[in-house]
Amino acid sequence: MSGLQLQDLTKRFGSVNAVASVNLSVPQGTFVCLLGPSGCGKTTLLRMIAGLEEPTEGAIVLDNKDMTGVPTHQRDFGMVFQSLALFPHLNVGENIAYPLRIRGVDKAEQKRRVEELLELVRLPGLADRPVAKLSGGQRQRVAIARALALRPKLFLLDEPLSALDAKLREAMQVELRQLQQSLGITTIVVTHDQREAMTMADLVVVMGEGRIRQAASPIQVYRKPSDAFVADFIGMTNLLPLKGNGDLLGRSFPSLGMAVGPRGGHLSVRPEDIRLVSPDQGTLTGTVTFVRDLGGTIETFVDVEGTSIVAVTTPRERTPYVAGDNVGIHLPVESCVVLKG
């Protein structure tokens, strides 16, 4: 099977499991985002794939070939580092040509390829510029071009956009996705920004405490989180405590009790799925505590039995409530996810 397989991949630092038996199959041409809070093991996992960390256990297989023991410089993977790691003593062209020079590609071919790559990352004609004289976004593009110079089988990026300001970052996310699609290259990006993951990925791998919590398409991860950790990490959500007997904030829903099981759990509802109705019509009722009118959207915070629930609406739907209003909360059944534990 072509593509990347991670089999029981484990990395221990002393007694700490940085990465604990990760199994993952990535089909050829897929854009994967490793997503999770800092310290969740996502960077360690990426570094193992690159060969910069040696796995304690497990195997890395690419196109049916075991890469586990292959030294980094023989793996033919392109990698972009968080620091970008552009060589300060080389100019833009020389940085991009560095892997070609190492391989003994002849000068003319190097030059041609550098121009082609600069074209690809939309920096034509900058080959002679010293690295120190580039803007943040330009440095980003040079790092990407350099990593792609050898036409790698696998493209790895470690928090590549974290140094950019918000606007540029969003633009680069789109660009990076388009670039990946045009090249059809299997790509793995480490990020802690769920918006970034949603924008770019075919496959979002949510990690927590060294383990994969969920690996699925972005919309699936958003709509059907596999547990409270994922639901909470991906976007804004309301996690309402659900008891084993079907008790939800003082109201009884036996069918939910059946779904969550005797030990109870949570009910996850996205704020934009909640509808605010008159008190007598809602699934739950509560008191508005705070209203945040952001212009484009309105966030209404409602206190129900001591739990704060947030609902997001647009101004077109209705006029804002004010603090102290009594409201009913309607939870559409199809948007609710029951999470055990």
The window from 26-34, 78-86, 107-115, 327-335 that contacts another protein (CB under 8 A) reads 78-86
143 vs 284 by CB, closer to another protein: 143
Binds another protein by CB under 8 A, chosen from 6, 19, 34, 79: 79
142 vs 197 by CB, closer to another protein: 142
**CA 72 – CA 210 distance, rounded (Å):** 23
Rounded least distance, CB 38 to another protein, Å: 17
101 vs 112 by CB, closer to another protein: 101
What are 14's two structure tokens?
């002393």
Contact set for another protein, span 93-132 (CB under 8 A): 98-99, 102-103
Binds another protein by CB under 8 A, chosen from 91, 110, 180, 214: 91
Binds another protein by CB under 8 A, chosen from 89, 167, 263, 316: 89
The site string for another protein over 141-170 (x = CB under 8 A, - otherwise) reads -----xx-xx-----x--------------
**CA 308 – CA 331 distance, rounded (Å):** 14
Q: By the 8 A CB rule, do 193 and 20 touch? A: no
Is residue 83 near another protein by the rule CB under 8 A? Answer: yes
Is residue 50 near another protein by the rule CB under 8 A? Answer: yes
Rounded least distance, CB 156 to another protein, Å: 8
SS (H, E, C) the chain: CCEEEEEEEEEEECCEEEEEEEEEEEECCCEEEEECCCCCCHHHHHHHHHCCCCCCEEEEEECCEECCCCCHHHCCEEEECCCCCCCCCCEHHHHHHHHHHHCCCCHHHHHHHHHHHHHHCCCCCCCCCEHHHCCHHHHHHHHHHHHHCCCCCEEEEECCCCCCCHHHHHHHHHHHHHHHHHHCCEEEEEECCHHHHHHHCCEEEEEECCEEEEEECHHHHHHCCCCHHHHHHCCCCEEEEECCCCEECCEECHHHHHHHCCCCEEEEECHHHCEEECCCCCCEEEEEEEEEECCCCEEEEEEECCEEEEEEECCCCCCCCCCCCEEEEECCHHHCEEEEC
What are 96's two structure tokens?
């991009």
Is residue 339 near another protein by the rule CB under 8 A? Answer: no
Is residue 255 near another protein by the rule CB under 8 A? Answer: no
Rounded least distance, CB 74 to another protein, Å: 8
The window from 13-21, 84-92, 185-193, 224-232 that contacts another protein (CB under 8 A) reads 84-92
Binds another protein by CB under 8 A, chosen from 36, 78, 265, 271: 78
The site string for another protein over 267-296 (x = CB under 8 A, - otherwise) reads ------------------------------
Binds another protein by CB under 8 A, chosen from 88, 262, 296, 306: 88
C-alpha radius of gyration, the chain, whole number: 24
Torsion angles phi and psi, residue 126, rounded to 5: -100, 10
Is residue 14 near another protein by the rule CB under 8 A? Answer: no
Is residue 179 near another protein by the rule CB under 8 A? Answer: no
Q: By the 8 A CB rule, do 311 and 274 touch? A: yes
Is residue 75 near another protein by the rule CB under 8 A? Answer: yes
Binds another protein by CB under 8 A, chosen from 10, 17, 25, 82: 82
59 vs 105 by CB, closer to another protein: 105
Binds another protein by CB under 8 A, chosen from 18, 24, 42, 77: 77
Q: Residues interacting with another protein, by CB under 8 A?
A: 50-52, 71-79, 81-83, 85, 87-91, 98-99, 102-103, 146-147, 149-150, 156
